[in-house]
């Protein structure tokens, strides 16, 4: 009886050891996958991205596909005329013959909608395309000039601080962008090269906000990272004389998130120009999208919006990354090892489950056959 008990004990111990090994292996796998050093995706080579996107564009150069994209652009009121212009330009370059009925529909809508569209956003777009003929009052409202000095940022932060001290609502969005701009100008964590790109990215976001070119996902990303970016209670009293002293009141984590996004937006704007950047900005949901779109704009420059309009965001950005081979190899190794361990200790695992079941079964029988139970019956 003693030998049998000892054998069962050894089986339970071995089973516990095997399960502990599997649990430890799973934890190591989780740690590896969640590590910031490990990236699920890596950027493709420039030549590979260009080749893949060009193939996708050639496959899309059909009357059916372009007509479908044009119909989608005609659905809103007013129609998406920027997108329609890009699609018509692509069709002309690739000799795509579109149905005459669709062209007639576009021409009829264009005469009505573009002839009467004097909205603020449209006026701002006209200013960006021809800044020389833009009235000063409109240029000021559109905020077209890129502020490369911290004067505007200091003014915005000072206004926000005054509102905070007076217990009035603070525009955290505007204040957050001003904080990043000021940090880029006076903070030591930025280099001279990144300062310009960040300032350009900041001004692009400001213009986009005024004319409604920011989508809801990006707005949530910006709101999440601008709220609490600047701790007003930690701003020194003499900060206006020494703007760099404000760095101690800035959340480094949120600043890093915004820095990455604005750097990429500055790069996109350098590649495609202001007007086209505002067009692209509507499709960007956050930092990752901005990085992928920056890669695409580095290759296709001013033609990036055209590729985006023809392929759509998902198809275009999908060509800029691939699964990290290290992740694939690691996943295969872990699955193989898990299968081997499971096969090796399967007998011990089933023995443990059987022992646990038998224990509870004996315990139940003992309780049922106890004198107190019999007496109650």
Q: Residue 274: its pLDDT value, please?
A: 81
Q: Residue 140: its pLDDT value, please?
A: 47
Q: Residue 78: its pLDDT value, please?
A: 86
Low-confidence ranges of the chain (pLDDT < 50): 36-37, 131-132, 136-137, 139-140, 144-147, 373-374, 377
CA distance 50 to 303: 12
Question: What DSSP state is assigned to residue 201?
Answer: H
CA distance 310 to 61: 8
338, with CB counted inside 10 A (0-12, 13-18, 19+), is middle
Q: Is the dihedral of CA 32, 38, 41, 42 positive or negative?
A: negative
Q: Which residue has the tokens 């970016």?
A: 229
Distance from the Cα of residue 196 to its chain's centroid: 22
Angstrom distances, CA of residue 236 to CA of 241, 243, 246: 10, 9, 7
CA distance 358 to 364: 10
pTM, two decimal places: 0.66
Q: Residue 23: its pLDDT value, please?
A: 67
Buried b or exposed e, range 68-88, using 16+ CB within 10 angstroms: ebbeebbeeeebbbbbbebbb
Angstrom distances, CA of residue 349 to CA of 16, 33, 161, 334: 8, 27, 64, 19
**Element holding 121 (H helix, E strand):** helix 120-129
**Element holding 321 (H helix, E strand):** strand 321-323
CA distance 25 to 376: 51
Tell me: the pLDDT tens digits for 178-191? 899 888 877 655 56
Angle at 189 between CA 244 and CA 179, to 5 degrees: 50
Tell me: the pLDDT tens digits for 310-342? 999 999 988 887 655 565 566 666 666 666 666
Distance from the Cα of residue 305 to its chain's centroid: 18
DSSP of 46-107: HHHHHHHHHHHHHHH-SHHHHHHHHHHHHSSSS--HHHHHHHHHHHHHTTPPPPHHHHHHHH
């Amino acid at each position: 009886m003693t030998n049998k008990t000892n054998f069962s004990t050894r089986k339970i111990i071995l089973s516990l050891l095997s399960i502990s090994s599997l649990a430890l292996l799973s934890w190591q796998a989780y740690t590896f996958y969640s590590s910031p050093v490990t990236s699920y995706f890596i950027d493709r080579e420039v030549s590979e991205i260009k080749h893949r996107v060009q193939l996708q564009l050639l496959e899309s150069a059909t009357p059916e596909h372009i007509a479908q994209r044009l119909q989608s652009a005609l659905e809103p009121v007013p129609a998406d005329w920027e997108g329609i212009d890009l699609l018509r330009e692509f069709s002309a370059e690739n000799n795509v013959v579109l149905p005459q009925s669709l062209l007639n529909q576009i021409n009829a809508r264009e005469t009505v909608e573009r002839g009467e569209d004097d909205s603020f956003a449209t006026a701002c777009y006209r200013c960006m395309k021809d800044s020389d003929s833009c009235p000063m009052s409109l240029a000021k409202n559109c905020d077209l000039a890129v502020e490369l000095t911290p004067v505007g940022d200091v003014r915005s932060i000072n206004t926000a601080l005054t509102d905070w001290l007076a217990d009035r609502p603070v525009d955290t969005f505007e204040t957050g962008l001003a904080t990043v701009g000021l940090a880029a100008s006076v903070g030591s964590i930025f280099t001279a090269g990144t300062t310009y790109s960040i300032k350009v990215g900041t001004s692009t976001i400001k213009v986009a906000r005024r004319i409604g070119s920011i989508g809801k996902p990006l707005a949530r990303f910006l709101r999440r990272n601008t709220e609490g970016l600047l701790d007003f209670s930690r701003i020194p009293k003499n900060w206006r004389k020494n703007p760099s002293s404000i760095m101690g009141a800035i959340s480094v984590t949120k600043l890093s998130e915004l820095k990455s996004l604005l750097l990429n937006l500055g790069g996109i704007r350098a590649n495609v120009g202001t007007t086209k950047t505002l067009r692209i900005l509507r499709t960007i949901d956050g930092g990752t999208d901005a990085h992928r779109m920056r890669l695409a704009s580095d290759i296709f420059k001013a033609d990036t919006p055209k590729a985006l309009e023809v392929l759509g965001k998902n198809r275009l950005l999908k060509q800029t990354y691939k699964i990290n081979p290290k992740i694939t190899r690691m996943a295969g190794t872990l699955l193989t090892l898990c299968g081997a361990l499971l096969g090796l200790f399967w007998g011990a695992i089933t023995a443990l489950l059987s022992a646990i079941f038998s224990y509870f079964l004996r315990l139940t029988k003992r309780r049922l056959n106890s004198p107190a139970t019999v007496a109650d019956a």
